[in-house]
Amino acid sequence: MKSKTIIVTGASSGIGAAAGLLFAAEGANVVLGARREQELNKLVAQITQGNGNAVFLAGDVTDEAYANALVDLAEERFGGLDGAFNNAGITGDMTPISEMEIANWRAVIDTNLTSAFFAAKAQIPAMKRQGSGAIVYTSSFVGYSNGGMPGMGAYAASKAGLIGLVQSLASDHAAEGIRINAVLPGGTKTAMAGDDPETKDFIAGLHPLKRMAAPEEIAQAAMFLLSGRSAFVTGTPISVDGGMSVRLL
């Protein structure tokens, strides 16, 4: 990762923040994106105090102009773009589709899937200018490998659609030296998982490993897919789910 420039979205907390810290520690220049400016500023300060290189730009991934602005920032500050970890996402309301408000459906699809389209449109031309690159999206076991979950229709649709997008993009751009993959986390100790101990114990128990992931463990998988160690891997959804997909087969 040394001297590579990587965009990370959803970087204000959880998996995205862990990825920003990890990539910077491994020598990458990181461009951090999320909605919460204060948290991004703290993360950049933490990285720079450790002699890492980081900049941030607050914004909304559902805005196409924001996707373009993150790429512009990477090129202006660090001379190009080598990779991106498009990690921003939301769960939305946990409710059956028959009872779901259209506003919730649109918010989940826009945040999890349409933003992926905007990211690809902005990032791939920059990587073509570099002559190579790697993109990683955060999908989910939900909506994949028999991973249906009650009340998560919008989320499952968005994450399943994301895997299809990854495979299509990988096919389109493999010959140009641009690899595109997805990580599929299991339950992870982030704010999205909530604070209730009983709920967390229940989620942990669903995994054959009988625990939830630390955000850093998902970040390690993303780093593998962004690095030269995965040079022959593209179009692949990689499960980082503590065995959840095995249990669901």
* Candidates 66, 137, 144, 155; catalytic one: 155
Do residues 95 and 147 make contact, with C-beta atoms less than 8 angstroms apart?
Answer: no
Tokens of 55: 């900049």
Q: Is 208 exposed, middle or buried, given 0-12, 13-18 or 19+ CB atoms closer than 10 A?
A: middle
Q: How many CA atoms lie within 13 A of 62 on its CB side?
A: 10
CA distance 160 to 140: 8
* 144 is an active site residue: no
- 154 Cβ contact partners less than 8 Å away, ≥ 6 residues apart: 92, 97, 100, 104, 105, 108, 109
**Any idea which residues carry the catalytic annotation?**
155
